[in-house]
Structure 1
Amino acid sequence: MAENVTLARPYAEAAFQLAKGSSTDLASWAETLARLSNITTDPVMEECIGNPQFNPAQLAQLYFEAAGGHLSADQQNFIRVLVDNNRLTVLPEIAALFDELKADAEGIKHAEITSAFPLDDATLKNLVAELERKFSCQIQATIKLDPELIGGVRMAVGDEVIDASVRGKLAAMAIALKN
């Protein structure tokens, strides 16, 4: 998968630059790339992409029709470039990288909050508010449950992890006792 991300990065950055400089907004491009990603992962479309009987113009037209005719001229040209360079299969990675670029531009960071038990709304709002204060940005949180944490929460924002779980504290104590 790392290879696909490497292949997708310049296309995601190009799409982002196109979106910033066009009449369509970033949200429209994100939505379109997500839709095109779903089209790409459809088993029938995967078969068409790998079929040498489809020439590039036919494959691009197939994408335009599958998208329901809701593509701007820049988006159509973007698809043509992907077709010409045999990069349609990395559309899911392009969409994910575009979403990251969009979030960065909008000052939004993604946080993954893992809890041993379900969090009530008030607790979740407090955690998100604390993270927003700490990172000075808007936070979009996803919640996961992991009973192995025993208690507490583990929060990951980008490369930074804040481990306030019982399991994490026990591991830290075990390391301290060994030293």
Structure 2
Amino acid sequence: MAENVTIARPYADAAFELARGADALGPWSEALDRLASVAADSSMRACITDPNLSTDQLTKLVEDVAGNLSAEQQNFVRILAENERLQVLPEIRDLFVALKNEQEGVLEAQIASAFPLDDAALAALKADLEARFHAQLNVTVSIDPQLIGGVRIAVGDEVIDASVRGKLANMAAALKN
């Protein structure tokens, strides 16, 4: 939803600047993870859109469910509630994490494998990718049996398809030409 991302961007930027200024990127990231989970819950979404709940009641409810929040984080929740923006907390979290990763020189990597990777293979693959991209990587691994064999790696906009399925698709395209 591009609209939600557009709405969330100034809030994510503000939270990032606040967190960076207080040297608290980690705690803010953790708090936004909890808040995004709270806002994504279906019963909480019903509360967020309930016109019978006041801003103060909604703020208190979100703070109580999210758990341990600093004074700045509580104020952030109150501002979101006042501006009816609690529903975009997942997008705020995603944008905040992207800003945090950029600040720390970290890239996100998605690895899809046909079969589960053991720890040694994953560590070796991660080390190779970090050397190739000259950055630390946050790796997310998923299993996709449709790949038949091998892996498909996405780091930012770059995709490395070393799967059997990808090689078969390339071979089929070459044979058609």
Q: Which residue of the partner structure matches residue 53 of structure 1?
A: 52
Taking a change above 3 Å as real, the CA distance of residues 129 and 62 of structure 1, as seen in their structure-2 partners, is: same
Q: Which residue of the partner structure matches residue 129 of structure 1?
A: 127
Structure 1 Cα separation of the partners of residues 97 and 145 of structure 2: 30
Amino acid at match of 1:167: R
Unaligned runs of 5+ in 2: none
Structure 1 Cα separation of the partners of residues 145 and 36 of structure 2: 33
Q: Which residue of the partner structure matches residue 163 of structure 2?
A: 165
Moved more, 76-85 or 159-168: 76-85
Taking a change above 3 Å as real, the CA distance of residues 115 and 47 of structure 1, as seen in their structure-2 partners, is: closer
Taking a change above 3 Å as real, the CA distance of residues 172 and 51 of structure 1, as seen in their structure-2 partners, is: same
Deviation at 1:102, TM superposition (A): 1.4
Structure 1 Cα separation of the partners of residues 119 and 99 of structure 2: 29
Structure 2 Cα separation of the partners of residues 65 and 85 of structure 1: 19
Deviation at 1:161, TM superposition (A): 0.2
Any idea what the Cα deviations from partners look like across 1:2-44, whole Å, max 9, x if unmatched? Answer: 3222221221111111100125x11100111111122223344
Structure 2 residue 34 is the aligned partner of structure 1 residue 35: yes
Instruction: Determine which of 143, 146, 151 is the counterpart of 2:144.
Output: 146
Structure 1 Cα separation of the partners of residues 118 and 38 of structure 2: 37
Unaligned runs of 5+ in 1: none
Taking a change above 3 Å as real, the CA distance of residues 148 and 92 of structure 1, as seen in their structure-2 partners, is: same
Structure 2 Cα separation of the partners of residues 113 and 39 of structure 1: 28
Any idea what the Cα deviations from partners look like across 1:70-103, whole Å, max 9, x if unmatched? Answer: 3222212211221121100111111122122212
Instruction: Determine which of 120, 126, 130 is the counterpart of 2:118.
Output: 120
Taking a change above 3 Å as real, the CA distance of residues 170 and 47 of structure 1, as seen in their structure-2 partners, is: closer
Deviation at 1:160, TM superposition (A): 0.5
Aligned length: 177
TM-score normalised to structure 2 length? 0.90
Of all paired residues, the percent bearing the same amino acid is: 59
